[in-house]
Amino acid sequence: MPTEPILIVGAGPAGLVLALSLLQNGIAVRIIDKAKTHRLGERGAGIMPRTLEVYNILGTLTDVYNKANPLPFSRVYEPPGGTKALNTFHMSPYIEPTGPCPYKNPVTLGQHRHEAILRSHLEKYGCHVEVATELLSFEQHESHVTAHLVYDDGEKQVMESANFPWMIGTDGARSIVRKRLGLSFLGETSTGENIVLGDIHVKEGLDSEFWHNWGDPARKIASLRPTGQGDNVFTFLIFGREIDHDKVATGREEVLKAFYEISGRKDVIFGDLIWISNYRPNMRMVDKFRKGRVFIAGDAAHCHTPAGAQGMNSSVQDSFNLGWKLALVHKGLSPPSLLDSYDAERLPVIAEMLNKSTSLFKQTIKPGATLGDSAWRRDGDLQQLGVNYRSSAIILDEEASESVAPAAYNSGSETEARAGDRAPEAAGLVDITNEDKSTSLFKIFGASYHTVLVFSGTVEEHTALAEASKKLPKGTVHSVLIASTADEVTTQHKDLFSQVLLDPQHIAFSTYWTPSDSLGVVVVRPDGVIGARARDVSGLQKYFSGIFLEA
């Protein structure tokens, strides 16, 4: 097992998720951030359902849910000075969860709290973010990357040069890693459409039940969203073509002037300003996520408008896609070519994400747009449950019928359980290898192994599958037989498979393998994506031959 750590530059959600993914795969990590302290503020607070599923696999979901809040209803108020709501609406109307999709609704959690939860999970592995540590430059070699760092030891700045087998830049939109790699950053920078945003205490005048909005999106608007943490902190946004963004962003007094001018609500009394930013929307992305032994992920690879809450969530999924692949290659279990799939799978998703978020933003601020109209709705594809990798070269689907791959955001991919889609949940299962305990597939998937689900078939077929699985690297595959009744299970089956589950209500069968009278094999990757659907052991071997050096 290699012991040298992989270097991650940048400790936002993308960097932290990547670090946790690697650690759970037994890979040492060093994660640095040039900020002297951990960042404050809500920032990217919207967490989409697909990210919640990622956190379920990583084991952080309970902590996130305990801190998070549902998105509040939004209120739009009458012209300046009024307290009467002209419209009350929900940007993401509640959707009843279903069996395959138990997390159907986004939640909000300030990024500083969000990051603190992820850091606490890193610390369980003895990994701590090194703050006040900056990457100055680096050189690539055939077997390693030499990084030149500077850090503050409390008394002086110390220079350090160190070698790492791999390096990943998750260091934001101004990424030094991206710039040093010389990667293109194609797209556009919005002019005159800045957003002044930040967090501020509200002492009086507003309740924390609603997201409050005043003004005309095309001209000037003031918005205050409660953070839901019981500390009377609201996130504010002030924007519009008639706003002097540079002036408003100079500090608390200018923020208050702009708010009172737009809203007319002098009854709202503010406390301290916590942080402020003059954000200029950039719609940009790289044409590749990797050069040699250096990768980028998250905002370092793509900038976006805040519309739709796609950026941070896409960043998390960048990292989760890369983590398990990099771990296998670093261990020498997979060929370096496996890493090519990171580009191939994520680039189409990011391109479509940028199109969606940019279109939403422009609809929101276009002349004639009104607060609360359809342009403000945030549901459907934006949940990211339909993000898929069906066109990926490492995906195998022996049951596929269409020849043309769907869009990267595809509503059918939420529940169709095709290779390349998210792996749906299936509850109501009974684990007969563990005292007949109730369980579900979401309790079985893991970030460090492939889960092989076997439906129906004969003992001979099961034996062949088990023998093929045993030839794969130890600890990389968790095999599960799913049977309809206990009569189908023998003592031999319990020896052949890691787990044997009963599916008395046919929930897993109906979700994953409709022809319940014939053998079916479904492989779920460590990132919760279906890697393969195969009819027999040869299909299983074909899939894993594209993943492992020996399969």
Domain final position from 383, 416, 438: 383
Q: What is the 3-state secondary structure (H, E, C) of 30-47?
A: EEECCCCCCCCCCCCCEE
Answer yes or no: is 221 within a domain: yes
Identify whether residues 409 and 527 lie together within a single domain: yes
pLDDT of amino acid 377: 61
- Count helices and strands (H / E) in the chain: 13, 29
Assess whether 480 and 531 both reside in one domain: yes
- Name the residue range of residue 12's domain: 6-39+48-62+108-183+285-383
CB 364 within 8 A of CB 241: no
CATH of the domain at 10: 3.50.50.60
Domain boundary among 246, 280, 314: 280
Whole-number pLDDT of residue 491: 80
Task: Output the CA torsion sign for 63, 92, 224, 309.
Answer: positive
Place of tokens 């250096």: 294
CATH number at residue 446: 3.40.30.10
- Which pLDDT does position 79 carry in this prediction? 72
Nearest to 255 by CA among 276, 233, 234: 276
Residues 403 and 539 both lie in one domain: yes
CA 52 to chain centroid, in Å, comes to 8
> Do 97 and 26 fall into the same domain?
no
Listed in sequence order, the residues at least 6 apart from 548 whose beta carbon sits closer than 8 Å to its beta carbon are 328, 333, 334, 472, 473, 476
Q: For the chain, 551 residues long, give each residue's pLDDT as a single digit of tens.
A: 577 999 999 999 999 999 999 999 999 999 999 999 888 877 778 899 999 999 999 999 999 999 999 988 888 888 776 677 788 888 788 889 999 999 999 999 988 999 999 999 999 999 999 999 999 999 999 999 999 999 988 788 999 999 999 999 999 989 999 999 999 888 877 666 788 999 999 999 998 889 999 988 778 899 999 998 777 899 999 988 889 999 999 999 999 999 999 999 999 999 999 999 988 877 889 999 999 999 999 999 998 776 666 778 999 999 999 999 999 999 999 999 999 999 999 999 998 888 877 676 666 655 555 665 555 565 577 788 999 999 999 999 998 776 666 778 888 889 999 999 999 999 999 999 888 899 999 999 999 999 999 999 899 999 999 999 989 999 999 999 999 888 888 788 888 999 999 999 999 999 998 766 789 999 999 999 999 999 999 999 999 999 999 76
Q: Are residues 222 and 370 in the same domain?
A: no
Is there a single domain that holds both residue 312 and residue 436?
no
Scanning 45-107, the segments in alpha helix (DSSP H) are: 49-58, 61-67
Q: Is residue 299 domain-resident?
A: yes
Buried b (16+ CB within 10 A) or exposed e, 347-375: bbbbebbbebbbebbbebbeeebebbeeb
In a domain, 67, yes or no: no
In a domain, 316, yes or no: yes
Q: Is residue 474 part of a domain?
A: yes
Q: Do residue 95 and residue 172 come from a single domain?
A: no
Q: Do 472 and 414 share a structural domain?
A: yes
CA distance from start to end of the chain: 19
DSSP collapsed to 3 states, 397-430? ECCCCCCCCCCCECHHHHCCCCCCCECCCCCCEE
**Backbone φ, ψ for residue 62 (5° rounding):** -60, -45
389 located within any domain: no
- Count of the separate structural domains present in the chain: 3
User: What is the Cα gyration radius of the chain?
Assistant: 25
In a 3-state reduction of DSSP, which class is residue 365?
helix
Question: Does residue 441 sit in the same domain as residue 411?
Answer: yes
DSSP assignment letter at 168: E
Please tell me the total number of residues recorded for the chain in this structure: 551
CA distance 149 to 126: 21
Residue 388 lies in a domain: no
Inside any domain, residue 93: yes
- We report the CATH number of the domain holding residue 272 as 3.30.9.10
Q: In this structure, are 132 and 13 located in the same domain?
A: yes
**Are 272 and 290 found together in one domain?**
no
**Neighbour tally for 112: CB within 10 Å:** 17
Decide which of 244, 263, 280 is a domain's last residue: 280
CB 83 within 8 A of CB 128: no
Tell me, yes or no, whether 375 and 235 share the same domain: no
Instruction: For residue 325, give the DSSP letter.
Output: H
